[in-house]
Structure 1
Amino acid sequence: MDYTLQMSQQKEKLLKTIYSLQLKSIATLQTASPLLSSRRGMGMVTQHQVHQLADKAKSLCGDLDNIKNLLHYCQDNLVREIPNPGGSRYGGVSGIHRSPDGSTYVTAEGAPWVHVLGSTGRTLRSLPCQDPGKGGGTFLPEDVTVTRAGMVAVADMTNGAVWVFNPHTGLSKGDWVKIRKVGSPRGIAVDSVGKILVADYAEGQVHSFALDHAFKVLHAHSVPDLQGPRYVSPAPSGGFVVSEECGDVKVFTSSRRLLCSLSSKYGHRFGNPAGVCVDVDGSVLVADEQLRTVHLFPEHGAPVCLVSAGLRRPAGMACSPFGHLFVADAGENCVKVFKYCVRPPYHLPNPGAPCGDPSLVPLQPR
């Protein structure tokens, strides 16, 4: 059978099925609602039949959520590779942050630099990680983020510190300011209210704190009892998501209370979860370093595998509102960009804006 004809028939069958369910449910509702509201009892309908219908409806709603998700997302759609701006002198890329203006911040294993890339992937600036104090010396950023004030912040696991780059000091070039000592900071992010989040690997905690204009730490709080936290990401609801090296990903509320464990909620078995991010729909995306995959965990429905091949050692991760996923592949020392949404996950605020990220051109054949 011709593939195009077969696909058309499948589409027609799916639409007819959904439409039939819609018509039948509306007809039943129109019949049942006046009868149940105007007379006592439930006629000949038994309690068992009600439970049976409720269970079937729950299963069917789950199936429809899965169909919707599978139509909405796509798999293994690699559109671009951005090589490590620092070359191969140091280890592979590890930390990544994507800003709303389209710029990307990248760190690499063992490299005393933070590279800032433009929307086309070209290096705009490289910030040397130099201690401005007496004796100088360099430090090695594990992960990177950008504060609400537009300042770059990094986690320095070797020295157990968090640094913020102040562009207004140091002969107009800027200097790094050590703002807090932390046990073993690996992941770093900024939550929806502007607080800095730090995943403390050795202490098994996520720290959160605010900074004032003089870089003084305010409103510090810690979430304990984590098993090797690696990467952390803010959630739109005000909470955060953290990956644990021992095989789980946990979601916390804005009040820093545990909301759920993804392995328990979805029955998903992780290998070694690494980079995490949350898209504008509230779905959690997780890179698995051991399984070399990326899965999306939607609010409703089963997990969706977005990347099943093409990753050697995924580390940090970020996503854009245009439906693009940025994965730092330490194994191949580059940032890989995947298109994971068939359409942007929300309506653009500017009706005249393009429907896709204009900076991302398709990957050219090798």
Structure 2
Amino acid sequence: MDSSLEISKLKEKLLRTMYNLQVKSGDTLQKTSPLLNCHRGLGMVTAQQLNQLSHEATQICQDLENIGNLVRFRQNELLFKIANPYGDNSNGPSGIHCSPDGTIYIVSDSWPRVHVLKQSGQVFKSVHCVQNQGGIKEPFLPEDITLTRSGMVAVTDMVGGAIRIFNPHSNFSGEWISIGKIDCPKGIGVDPSGKLLVADYTAGEVHIFAIDHAFRLLSTQTITGLRGPRYVCSTCDEKIVVSEECGDVKVYGRNLQLMYSLSVKHCRPFGNPAGICVDNEGNIMVVDEQKRNVMLYPKIGYPICIVSEGLKKPTTLACLTNGQVFVVDTGDNCIKVFKYRVNPYYGSAKN
């Protein structure tokens, strides 16, 4: 049978099923609502029947949500590749960040330079990573990158044990300002309030730094008890997501208390979770370096593997609001761009 004809029949069957559920539930509600509101008792409905109906209805709602997710998301839809801007002599990008306007920022832990790329992958700007030590300028190697709420570049310097923020408005045509002192800063992110989130690898902690417009440190909070935290990011409702090397991906609430781990919640262990990101819908995406895939964890529903093939050694990732995800594949010395979401509700219908 023609595949397009088969797909059309399946679409019709799915739409008919959802329509029948809608009609039947609406008809039942219309008939029973006046009786439940105006008459005593439940007629001949028993507690057992009510519990069974509640359980089955919950399962149907979950199944419908999962069907909706499977319709919205895509798997292994590779759009194009971006060559490693640092060349073949680099280990490849160690950190990547996508700004809302589609600009891509990348760093490499073996190259003292931040590259700024267009969405197509073309480099249009570079920033040297140089610190001023007593009047002597010395290069440093950035580990990961993000943007502050004011749009300034912030990176982690693992060797120097500090966060460094690039101030393009300084009197010296742009300079790096150091914030904090950390044992082994690796991943960096920003929460919705503008606080910097930094994964401290050897200490097993995540530090939350509040700074003012003059880059002065206002306060510090800490999440402890982690094992080799690598990357960190935040959801739009201020939850903090952290990946642990050869461990798990954990989600913390506003009170900085552990809410759950993704492997336990979904009964799906990781191999070696590395890069993480969260899109505008609140979907968490995780690169598994060992399993060589990218998993998406929706706010409601089961996990979905959005990239299951074509990756050699994926290490980190970032996403755009148009439904694209940029996956750094150091094994292939490039960045691979996938389409994981079709027609995002927050984007254009043309996507």
TM-score by length of 1: 0.91
Is the Cα–Cα contact under 8 Å of residues 86 and 92 in structure 2 kept in the other structure? no
- What residue number does 2:333 align with? 333
The 3 A distance-change label for structure 1 pair 218 and 309 is: same
The 3 A distance-change label for structure 1 pair 290 and 148 is: same
The 3 A distance-change label for structure 1 pair 42 and 119 is: same
Q: Percent identity?
A: 50
- What residue number does 1:189 align with? 189
1-structure distance, mates of 2:57, 2:123: 53
- What residue number does 1:167 align with? 168
Q: Once the 2 structures are TM-superposed, how far is the Cα of residue 293 of structure 1 from its aligned partner?
A: 0.7
Q: Once the 2 structures are TM-superposed, how far is the Cα of residue 330 of structure 1 from its aligned partner?
A: 1.7
- What residue number does 1:351 align with? none
The amino acid that maps onto 1:355 is K
| 1:323-345 residue CA offsets vs partner (Å, 9 max, x unmatched) | 11111112222111111111124
Is the Cα–Cα contact under 8 Å of residues 103 and 118 in structure 1 kept in the other structure? yes
Runs (4+) of structure 1 exceeding 4 A deviation are: none
- Stretch of structure 1 that moved more, 66-75 or 308-317: 308-317
Is the Cα–Cα contact under 8 Å of residues 155 and 164 in structure 2 kept in the other structure? yes
The amino acid that maps onto 1:188 is I
- What residue number does 1:323 align with? 323
- What residue number does 2:350 align with? 355
2-structure distance, mates of 1:181, 1:206: 13
Is the Cα–Cα contact under 8 Å of residues 237 and 253 in structure 1 kept in the other structure? no
- What residue number does 1:263 align with? 263
- What residue number does 1:215 align with? 215
1-structure distance, mates of 2:25, 2:118: 51
Where in structure 2 are the equivalents of 1:273-292 lying within 5 Å? Answer: 273-292=273-292
- What residue number does 2:68 align with? 68
Is the Cα–Cα contact under 8 Å of residues 97 and 104 in structure 2 kept in the other structure? yes
- What residue number does 2:23 align with? 23
Where in structure 2 are the equivalents of 1:1-366 lying within 5 Å? Answer: 1-134=1-134, 135-169=136-170, 171-172=172-173, 174-347=174-347, 355-356=350-351
2-structure distance, mates of 1:168, 1:160: 24
| 1:291-342 residue CA offsets vs partner (Å, 9 max, x unmatched) | 1111111111111110001111212211111111111112222111111111
The amino acid that maps onto 2:247 is G
The amino acid that maps onto 1:202 is T
Secondary structure class of the residue paired with 2:133:
coil
The amino acid that maps onto 1:89 is N
Q: Kindly tell me the number of residue pairs found equivalent between the two proteins.
A: 350
Q: Once the 2 structures are TM-superposed, how far is the Cα of residue 205 of structure 1 from its aligned partner?
A: 1.0
Is the Cα–Cα contact under 8 Å of residues 344 and 355 in structure 1 kept in the other structure? no
Q: Once the 2 structures are TM-superposed, how far is the Cα of residue 46 of structure 1 from its aligned partner?
A: 1.4
The amino acid that maps onto 2:89 is R
Q: Once the 2 structures are TM-superposed, how far is the Cα of residue 32 of structure 1 from its aligned partner?
A: 2.0
Q: Once the 2 structures are TM-superposed, how far is the Cα of residue 270 of structure 1 from its aligned partner?
A: 1.1
Secondary structure class of the residue paired with 2:91:
coil
Secondary structure class of the residue paired with 1:97:
strand
1-structure distance, mates of 2:25, 2:84: 55
The 3 A distance-change label for structure 1 pair 36 and 214 is: closer
2-structure distance, mates of 1:10, 1:355: 24
Is the Cα–Cα contact under 8 Å of residues 229 and 245 in structure 1 kept in the other structure? yes
**Which blocks of at least 5 consecutive residues in structure 1 are unaligned?**
349-353, 357-366
2-structure distance, mates of 1:72, 1:146: 29
Q: Once the 2 structures are TM-superposed, how far is the Cα of residue 148 of structure 1 from its aligned partner?
A: 1.7
Q: Once the 2 structures are TM-superposed, how far is the Cα of residue 93 of structure 1 from its aligned partner?
A: 1.5
- Stretch of structure 1 that moved more, 53-62 or 250-259: 250-259
2-structure distance, mates of 1:39, 1:212: 62
- Stretch of structure 1 that moved more, 103-112 or 275-284: 103-112
Q: Once the 2 structures are TM-superposed, how far is the Cα of residue 170 of structure 1 from its aligned partner?
A: 6.1
The amino acid that maps onto 1:157 is M
Is the Cα–Cα contact under 8 Å of residues 198 and 208 in structure 1 kept in the other structure? yes
1-structure distance, mates of 2:175, 2:19: 62
The amino acid that maps onto 1:314 is P
Secondary structure class of the residue paired with 2:254:
coil
Q: Once the 2 structures are TM-superposed, how far is the Cα of residue 61 of structure 1 from its aligned partner?
A: 1.0
Is the Cα–Cα contact under 8 Å of residues 276 and 317 in structure 1 kept in the other structure? yes
The amino acid that maps onto 2:84 is N
| 1:86-145 residue CA offsets vs partner (Å, 9 max, x unmatched) | 111221222001111221111123221111112332112222212221343321111011
Secondary structure class of the residue paired with 2:317:
strand
Q: Once the 2 structures are TM-superposed, how far is the Cα of residue 347 of structure 1 from its aligned partner?
A: 4.6
The 3 A distance-change label for structure 1 pair 214 and 37 is: closer
The 3 A distance-change label for structure 1 pair 264 and 347 is: same
- Stretch of structure 1 that moved more, 204-213 or 71-80: 204-213
